[in-house]
Structure 1
Amino acid sequence: MPGWQHPFGTCKEAVRVDLSYTAEEERFRDELRQWLSAHIPEDWTKPGFWEAMSPEANFEMRRDWERDKALAGFAGIQWPTEYGGRGGTPGMKAIYDQEMVLARAPQTVNGLGLTFLAPTLMAIGSDAQRKEIIGPMLRNEVIWCQGFSEPGAGSDLAALTTRGVRDGDDFVVNGQKVWTTNAMHGDKIFTMVRTEPGSEKHRGISMLLIDMHQPGVEARPLKQMSGASEFGEVFFTDARVASADCLGEIGDGWRTAMLLLSFERGASGVAQYTEFRRQYDEIVTVARALGRDQDPVIRNKLARVLTELECLRYHAMYVLTQVEQGRDLGFEASMTKLQWSETFQDLWEVFDDVLGPDATLTEPVPGLDVAALHAQAMWSRSVTIWGGSSQVQRNITAERVLGLPR
């Protein structure tokens, strides 16, 4: 009997997931573990350490640590060596993501550049752009932020109104971006600008690489409900950018953006699973401390989200298997983003259920520090919006993967 036709192939093909790593990849794991063990002080892993610092000191300490890690050869794991990377396998990158979480390593300060912009540059950037941008980015000499969202555009990226008017070899840019991660620390921004007068929707947009330290660029912090200012808004007032600093073709920025977002949405969920599973265990600890672990409704919810987590794990290993076999996931990347973001949100909804009426307290359990868990719970509300909302991901999956009618 022929196998059922799965969007990714036949049923038999779909279950051939490799859950193991090669001997070379395991040697890399040992090497990375030894380095992390020697370079992460114990104090750094204790609850509240990073939160107790000022945002500026927190950022600079992580920036320096990550630079040292790059110089030691533990950055750009899957990047070609010509760009300063390690030239490793997808399995090595998955191991890196996993071990960083397990070691409670400091969070990256240049994630938008390293994860999204760099691979886009490698794919379609000019030789000059690759040479000038990738190395300094890897060493954290230049911090990048992303300017896609706008106040009047919502999740509709094609509704952007920021404009760039040609003036000789430059574009003069005017407009506003919002919800810009790292806006207050960014040295440069990759941003979508409408560069063809009269163009609408997806046409006439270019992705420009703009220096944020020049006159005409102002970043302002946005206060989140957690009290942090991870995001900012960026104002362009007659800011100038050379036409050579367009990533991809001028007027073809939509295609460039879709390529960049494929890296954001399609990354293997190995790191997410590892982090979420640790957070799940912490939530179970809170449930036991409050005596809620005996509540049958809470137990059922914990069991359900644990099942979701294990499904995420197997999907992550499936994606890794496909990537190792050289397959381009294309629109299927939307499925990964949809799965991990929905699972993450479900996990923290269970946390709120565990706390019950104590959810508004900063210390619901004497002697148990749950401040970091509260912060994660609040952060979880955003993950089904940024990087393409869940509604957008469902539409893409339905139309482009499953072939359903529009």
Structure 2
Amino acid sequence: MDLTYTAAEEEFRSELRSWLQSNIPDAWSAPGFWDALPDDESFGLRRDWERDKALAGFAGIQWPTEFGGRGGTPGMKAIYDVEMVLANAPRTVNPLGLTFLAPTVMAIGTEQQKRDIIGPMLRNEVIWCQGFSEPGAGSDLAALSTKGVRDGDDFVVNGQKVWTTNAVHGDKIFTMVRTTPGSEKHRGISMLLIDMHQPGVDARPLKQMSGASEFGEVFFDDARVAAADCLGAIDEGWRTAMLLLSFERGASGIGQYTEFRRQYDTVVDVARKLGRDADPVVRGKLAKVLTDLECLRYHAMHVQTQVEQGRDLGFEASMTKLIWSEPSQDLWEVFDLILGEDATLDEIDGVDLRPLHGQAMWSRSVTIWGGSSQVQRNVTAERVLGLPR
């Protein structure tokens, strides 16, 4: 395992850090700044900032230069993830497109799809969302019922998707549709790329308990999409989806460690300010979380080393999901324990808790989305450890 970076990577760190310091207003780092903005205003501000970052050459760090990327190393991508957290940079508005869709298009897209999708996505000219989950198909995606019926050179799509991130801001959606009538399970499914601004597509927000509307549901009512806008082969969407999801790996754990360690320090600071840091139960639970976070750090460096050596990690991504999601959730459970019966208050003894409550509520979801902990344990047992089913 290599815990060092090359001279070129450290030079990139310095360049990126300097740009971030010059291009993130101090007001953006003030507690509650982003929470106080209306959703549309927050999204627009982040969209413009991220476009400027891409134009400055700080996007698509590992993407090939032919696609507008920087052509950087896995180490540079890890540095990018860390420095974005340390600078309190705004969250990306195009996470699913950049993380999943773009590398899939690079791998199997047609030349026309590569030209039409990758550049505009990198510059945030087109926001992509992902249409996988349905009311009756969550963890069991193969149970999806949204249908696409062939009509000449088009598919006519009818059905519903739910828990769609950025649904109300999305320009296009990559979605799984059953394109062979009567097919079952993984067969007869295609991944279609659908314009969300056309007639027959209706995106509605879903309000979360935090008050945010990050998710939405999407209804298709005779929406049309050209058969040429199928990513991968028609009726081979399951294969395309597995390729797409495989890109959630690499050095992402390093940025997550940095973010969670900062959250940990914040929770410890709250415990001290409230005089609850001497409780042996609290101290024991905080110690366990810290130990788990340090395990995440070393696991992430191990994964990065393997990626740099050209190894295809495959199902080891399930291990990474477990190693970061469960300690994150444990941390915010300790936060609730520290607050006790005061957990519903916005402020205690002059300590503003509002920015932390949203993170605590969000943490309840992290062991569910992206594959639940139960699913990840099964995958790890069967595909990594070779245990029988």
| Shorter-chain TM-score tier | over 0.9
Q: Which of 372, 375, 386 is residue 392 of structure 1 equivalent to?
A: 375
Q: Which of 47, 60, 81 is residue 76 of structure 1 equivalent to?
A: 60
Cross-structure match for 2:103? 119
1:265 Cα shift?
5.1
Q: 2:293 aligned with 1:318, yes or no?
A: no
Question: How many residues in Structure 1 have an aligned counterpart in Structure 2?
Answer: 389
2:214 is matched by which residue type in structure 1? E
Deviations 1:18-48 (A, max 9, x none): 1110000000000000000000111111101
Q: Which of 151, 175, 183 is residue 167 of structure 2 equivalent to?
A: 183
Distance 1:291 1:307 in 2: 23
Distance 2:17 2:372 in 1: 35
Q: 2:161 aligned with 1:169, yes or no?
A: no
**Which aligned segments of 4 or more residues in structure 1 are displaced greater than 6 angstroms?**
none
Q: 2:27 aligned with 1:27, yes or no?
A: no
1:355 Cα shift?
1.0
1:377 is matched by which residue type in structure 2? A
CA-atom RMSD in angstroms? 0.9
2:372 is matched by which residue type in structure 1? S
Cross-structure match for 1:3? none
Cross-structure match for 2:231? 247
- The runs of 5 or more residues in structure 1 that have no matched partner are 1-16
Cross-structure match for 1:199? 183
| 3-state SS of 1:86 partner | coil
| 3-state SS of 2:99 partner | helix
Distance 1:54 1:277 in 2: 29
Distance 1:154 1:70 in 2: 34
1:331 Cα shift?
1.1
Range 331-340 or range 31-40, more displaced = 331-340
Deviations 1:180-219 (A, max 9, x none): 0000100000000011111111111111110000000000
% identical aligned pairs: 81
Deviations 1:76-95 (A, max 9, x none): 00000010000000000000
**CA separation of 1:190/1:267 partners in 2, compared to 1, >3 Å: closer, same or farther?**
farther
Distance 2:325 2:107 in 1: 27
1:267 Cα shift?
5.1
**CA separation of 1:137/1:78 partners in 2, compared to 1, >3 Å: closer, same or farther?**
same
Q: Which of 114, 121, 124 is residue 140 of structure 1 equivalent to?
A: 124
1:358 Cα shift?
1.1
Contact 1:187/1:213, CA 8 A, preserved across alignment? yes
User: What is the TM-score with the length of structure 1 in the denominator?
Assistant: 0.95
Q: 2:276 aligned with 1:292, yes or no?
A: yes
1:366 Cα shift?
3.0
1:109 Cα shift?
0.5
2:379 is matched by which residue type in structure 1? I
Distance 2:252 2:32 in 1: 29
Contact 1:266/1:337, CA 8 A, preserved across alignment? no
Q: Which of 344, 348, 353 is residue 337 of structure 2 equivalent to?
A: 353
Cross-structure match for 1:263? 247
Contact 1:210/1:245, CA 8 A, preserved across alignment? yes
- The runs of 5 or more residues in structure 2 that have no matched partner are none
Q: 2:347 aligned with 1:368, yes or no?
A: no
Contact 1:268/1:319, CA 8 A, preserved across alignment? no
Cross-structure match for 1:214? 198
2:50 is matched by which residue type in structure 1? E
2:25 is matched by which residue type in structure 1? P
User: What is the TM-score with the length of structure 2 in the denominator?
Assistant: 0.99
1:47 is matched by which residue type in structure 2? P
Distance 1:297 1:95 in 2: 35
| 3-state SS of 1:184 partner | helix
Contact 2:161/2:218, CA 8 A, preserved across alignment? yes
Q: Which of 353, 360, 364 is residue 377 of structure 1 equivalent to?
A: 360
Contact 2:50/2:124, CA 8 A, preserved across alignment? yes
Cross-structure match for 1:226? 210
Distance 2:307 2:327 in 1: 22
2:34 is matched by which residue type in structure 1? W
Distance 2:11 2:140 in 1: 45
